[in-house]
Chains A and B, each alone.
Chain A
Amino acid sequence: MSQFFIDAAVNPFLWSGLAAGGLASVSCGIIGPYVVTRRLLFLAGALAHIAIGGVGAAVYLSTIHPTAFGWLEPIHGGLAAALVSAPLLAVLKHRMKERLDTVVGALWAVGMSVGILLVKITPGYHTELMSYLFGNISFVTRRDLVFLAVLSAIVIATAVLFHRRFLALCLDAEQAELRGIPVLTTDIVLFLLIAATVIVLTQIVGLILVIALLSLPAAIGARLTTRLGPSMAVTFVVSTLVTTIPRIVVYGTPVSPEAAIVLATAGLYLAVVLWRRPDGS
């Protein structure tokens, strides 16, 4: 563990990895509880996997047309794909009472397939897809950090503005509608924030493991509190701890930091479930 701090003195990537974890924890702390209480985890998983299609498109375009798209980073493609598909998934959730899981599952698989296909037909050797699938917390650049900070700021500002509406949807969507809240529009905004958060978390644990970070800290928060606000605070603290401590502990070992983060989160959730029942006893 001490090796991490010794190396951190000369390796700025170690600090930027921790900073990325902190930024992701803020988004995770705010959006995770909405996802868990509104039971949107499957749809959030679909967003993450559809984003892989965007990653593939960005890799393809920036390689084939470097003059026009040389500036395009894979994460930009992932974000664009997630943001475009977020309203679509929100509309599907409202319109399709039956077979929603089938359609969303198909979109999930198609997005991922498109991403793999585009990377495969792109000339040259590309490791981008692997780093977006499994995360790359060890090599977060200053530019990545700025991108994550901007996304996190947008998520926070929008969530603060919409909090009462999101809470109403989480509690009782029918009552919210009767009280004059446009439920579909509000859900579309929430889905856009989930899409942005998924992309932020991708940098930490990768798209495949993003669901764990989006759900488990929030589930811990829900177990330990009786209101959504405090639940968000607990989710933020848990997310910060699990994106920091495992990263430092496994440093210098063959264990992948991304896997360590998810396993530590799952272990913490299990401990809380065993310690505390849902009624707070």
Chain B
Amino acid sequence: MQDASGAVVAFEHVTKRYPGADAPAVDDLTFTVPAGEICVLVGPSGCGKTTTMKMVNRLIEPTSGRITIDGRSVTDIPAVELRRGIGYVIQQIGLFPHLTIGENVGVVPKLLRWPEARIRGRVEELLQLVGLEPVTYRDRYPAELSGGERQRVGVARALAADPPVMLMDEPFGAVDPIRRDRLQNEFLRLQERVRKTIIFVTHDVDEAIKMGDRIAILQRGGILAQYDTPAAILANPASEFVERFVGADRGLKRLSLERVRDLELLEPVVVRAGEERAAVRRRLGEAANVDYALLVDDHRRPLGWIDHGDLEGSGPIDPDTATPGAPTVQPETTLRDALSALLGSSVQLGVVVDERDRVIGLVSVDAIGARLRAPVRGADGTLHEIGEAAAPA
């Protein structure tokens, strides 16, 4: 429904120094957020991430340097006009308690003096977009909604005038972990449709990895420690600070960025009940890397593993000797979840199945490990060997 894509947001030597402070809050930031991407600003408290974000819509003015949106310096645009063209979502949401949900969503269009009918249509469209039935929600007040519903209204309100750029300050910080996960997924699906350029602030590195196309890691004093894709940062932290900040489990974190479909799957030795043991023995012997045959039903759905012991002697295979409980994963499963399923099973092979449960291949712990050791492509397009020191951003 919307093809309006985001705008390029560029920081050029941006510094913020508060009067009376000896050190700058934000120190000489230079980086560019490509149009339509989510850039997450992450770092410990006092790293200047919120200050950095608020300089984009001039709630805070930089001391020096400049920020441009599609090449135009934000300080060349009157602050009020600039802000009406930038979506803004904050942690406490800040819905207006005295306005209905419909009126809240229509706030910026009203400030822009859209005709009533157009505002009404837009409000309806946006409530649909964030999954709130307009007929049910439009005339309610914020106090009548749950936290998650209010959060969605906040996002709808920020999208109202179809701004190319959105600023989000810990937007999911106030909801419980389960609901946060759902809202994050919802928002990522939404972003696939609207393709805004989003500056997203969080202190949670896991959220940064999940939400960010790129991550800017800031350290105390507002210094940019690294700016790259999540995978590249996890594979090659630019400094000891980044390495500590992303955590000792950064290998595991990388696994949650990749999916089973990114791996080369192993070819399974597929057998059906009634096949001759000798023939299966021969096929299993020829297969590289696989020590088990996979017993499937008539629809190629997995039933269990057949090992060498089950194949001794002659005669047809007895389905009852198969070891059941082969873990199944889907191409969309993250490597982290796949690994977890594999480690919990006796045969450390996972069966990859399609949406109708039919076997399409196998995944092994080794294959997942190999993936972690493969070079990672950085934001600049170059491949980095794992552990190779990346150039500081």
Partners in one complex: no
